Each structure stands twice: as C-alpha cells, then as structure tokens.
Amino acid sequence: MDTQGGITVQRALELPGLRGGLPEVVAGADRLQRTVRWVHAGEVPNIASLLKGGELLLTTGLGLGTRPAEQRAFVRRLADRGIAALVVELGPRFARLPATLVETARAAGLPLVQLHREVPFVTVTEEIHTEIVNGHYALLQRAEEVHRRCTGALLGGGGIPQVLGILADFTANPVFLETPDGQLLYAAACDSGEAAADPLQVWEGLRGQREARASGPPTGAVLVDVPGGGHGVGSVRARLALLAVGPPLLPVHRMAAERAAGILAVVLMQARQEEELAARGRGDFLTDLAEGRITAEDAPAQAKVLGFKPGDGPLLPAVMRLASELAPTGNWAVLARAVLEELSSVGVPVLLGVRPVEGRVPLLLGLRSETERTAVADRVAAALRAGVERAGLMGARAGTQPVVVVGVA
C-alpha cells in the first residue's frame, strides 16, 4: 500500500517510541492501514480545529472532558476532521479509557489506542516524522529513477514511444499522450499483466468516461500537463494520461509522470523547432527558385534532397499569403503540418515551405498532365484555406481570408 510518503498507523505503533508504551488498540483495529501524514500532541478541548486531517494525535486525555457528552463530541470532531488515529496515554487522567470514548470511536471508524506506559511524546513525534520524511525521500528516489531511465532512452536514440513505455511499465498501466483538446498522439501499454491489453481499446474507454463526466479527470486516471512554449501563462503543449486498468495509480506514479512530462516538453519543442526549420528551408528554396537564384539545372537535385519527387508532368507553383492577423505568432510548423494534411487529399506530389517574415506559404506541385491544372488549382486553393482553419488561425478577425495564388511562376 502506498502511503503518499507517510506511514500507516500500524507502522507507527511498531516503532520503538510507541511500542515502548505497550499500545492496545481498543477501536478501529480494521483501520490501521490509514496513512499518518503528521503527528500532533495536544490537551485542549478544541484540538480538532487545529488539525488538517491525517494526523496521529497524542494526548493524556486532559482535554477530553469529564462528561460522556463532552467525550463523544471530542471523538466525533476528530473523526470528522479525518485524523489517522487517536492515541491516549493512561495515567492520572484515565486508568482505562471510558466506554463512551471506545464506543464512539468504534461507531465513527476512528482508530483509538491506549498506552499502558508513559512515553516521551517528543521522542514519538521525532521518530514518526523521521519515518515520514524518509518515506517521502524514497518516493522521490523511485520517481527520479524513472526520470533517469527516460533520459537514458532519449540519449540512446529513443523517442516519445520509449518514454511512454518506461512509464507504462513503472505504473503497470497504459499511458497516453494527447493533445490539449483530447486527441490521441501516442499510446503505450505495459509488458505484462491485465493492463498489457491493446491500449487503443483502453483509450476508447477513457474517452467514454470523459464524455460521461461534466468536469474533472475520469475515475482512476491521472492527468499531467506537458508544458508548452506559448507566451500565455500555463501554456499546455500536450497532456499525459494514465489510466488504472491494472493496479491503482499511486502518488509516486503521478510524481514520475510529472518528471516525464518535463522530458516530453523538451522532445516536443525540439521536434517542432526542427520541423519549422525544415519548413523554412523549403520556403527559402522555393523563393530562390521563383526569383531565379537557382538554375533550372540545379533545381531538380535540390528539390529531391528536400523530399520532392514529381513525375514527368508539368509543375504547378502556388503561394498563399496570410494577413498579419492570421500569421502564427510563434509556430509555423503547426500551420505547415495542417496545410500538408489537407493537401494530401489533392493526390499529387507537393513541396511546401514557409516564409514567416513575409507571411507566405510557397509550394510546388507535380501534375500528371497539363489538362488537370485548373481542377488541381481549385482543390489546392480549398485545401490551403482548410489548412489555415485547421491550424486554428481563422477567426482572428471576422471575414479574414488568406490570399491564395495558384499557377503563377
């Protein structure tokens, strides 16, 4: 059982400090796996108002009150506050805990422990706090080990799938990378266990849970934002989604996911930068070709290096000019990718570049014959406008449209 860096009530009772007090569990014996987040000692009647929940409360009982009604109210307030356990040291105040206390604690599901020997509360506090801090450190070490493995995978030539695979194996659950609006980018399953099933089937279930809920993450899921490179506060580039198909997801899994998210942010940023540099390079080539700085003899070889492999038919040059309010503020790669995806429906070879300074997207298409020039030109113009809209750039100003010129050298 993961204790979020704390320890269980059972573990606290086994430590030398409390063990030396000869602890006897008189209520809530079935709740000893509760997590002790912190330890507090106090003797005032309103002690519950000073607590946050998850504490192990040490007391000699001076604040419990003398009347049964006071004692019942004292225990109920502690239970409502959500403390981990109440530990009462027997002595001058109580030779044995009153039946009222025990019965109320049982009814409230609150672990109640009586100590038959006096113990130094400061020693107990130091001991349990040390154990809790050590537990937090152990969690950090486990999360850091995953971070090191992910970093090593990238240095070894791996990419996003390898990082997600490491995280999936660590959590023993499927892991997904999605866009901020919930579109799937990558999926990974662990190597074994019930969570080793097809992650795409799991993804459909995750999406169904989201659609069924008005807000908040799906049940059993952990969502971690992958920071983006935008100018806005809290800019999100993508999102990691972990779903508990197998074992429950624990706090250490969230910690590991948060560290993996930092790695993925760098990978995605680098990929976008490389993609934009390549798009700018193609834009420079097309501009130089159009303005006569590249000879007809050299052009085919350079175009082939850039991935353009047309047939023997004629070429169709085109350029799309964006109004200043439509131009991407910092990521032309998104626009280039969206336009290329729309152009894939045209069904002809295409070389596309970007010219950010001029706000232009030049491209060159390979035709099968001169007779299809007009039809292809119309489809290209429609695809370019659809690509701009797909990239989220339409609507910067009502009625604003990109200017598309097709078939002009």
Confidence of residue 15 (pLDDT cuts 50, 70, 90): very high
Torsional class of 157: left (φ above 0), alpha (ψ -120 to 50), beta (otherwise): left
Higher-pLDDT residue of 160 and 198 is: 160
- Indicate whether 92 pLDDT > 90: no
d(CA 42, CA 188): 50
- pLDDT at position 1: 40
Tell me the per-residue pLDDT of 164-185, one tens digit each, with 9 for 90 and over: 999 999 988 888 888 887 777 8
Please state whether beta strands 315-321 and 403-406 pair in parallel, antiparallel, or not at all (unpaired): antiparallel
Of 402, 397, 284, 242, nearest in space to 335 by CA: 402
Which domains does the chain carry?
7-130 (3.40.1390.20), 140-270 (3.30.450.40), 276-406 (3.30.70.1130)
Higher-pLDDT residue of 267 and 213 is: 267
Of 405, 382, 383, nearest in space to 318 by CA: 405
Are 171 and 242 contacting, i.e. CB atoms less than 8 angstroms apart? yes
- Indicate whether 104 pLDDT > 80: yes
Tell me the per-residue pLDDT of 189-240, one tens digit each, with 9 for 90 and over: 887 655 556 677 676 666 655 555 555 556 668 889 988 755 444 577 788 9
Confidence of residue 325 (pLDDT cuts 50, 70, 90): low
Determine what percent of the chain is predicted with pLDDT higher than 70.
85
Measured CA to CA in angstroms, residue 104 lies from 45, 70, 77, 86, 111 at distances of 16, 11, 11, 12, 11
Record the tokens describing residue 79, joined without a space.
């239970």
Q: Which residues 6+ apart lie within 8 Å of 87 measured at CB?
A: 18, 23, 56, 57, 58, 59, 113, 114, 115
Q: Which residues 6+ apart lie within 8 Å of 152 measured at CB?
A: none
- Indicate whether 248 pLDDT > 70: yes
- Indicate whether 5 pLDDT > 60: no
d(CA 116, CA 111): 16
- Tell me the whole-structure pTM to 2 decimals: 0.55
Record the tokens describing residue 188, joined without a space.
């990974």
Confidence of residue 126 (pLDDT cuts 50, 70, 90): very high
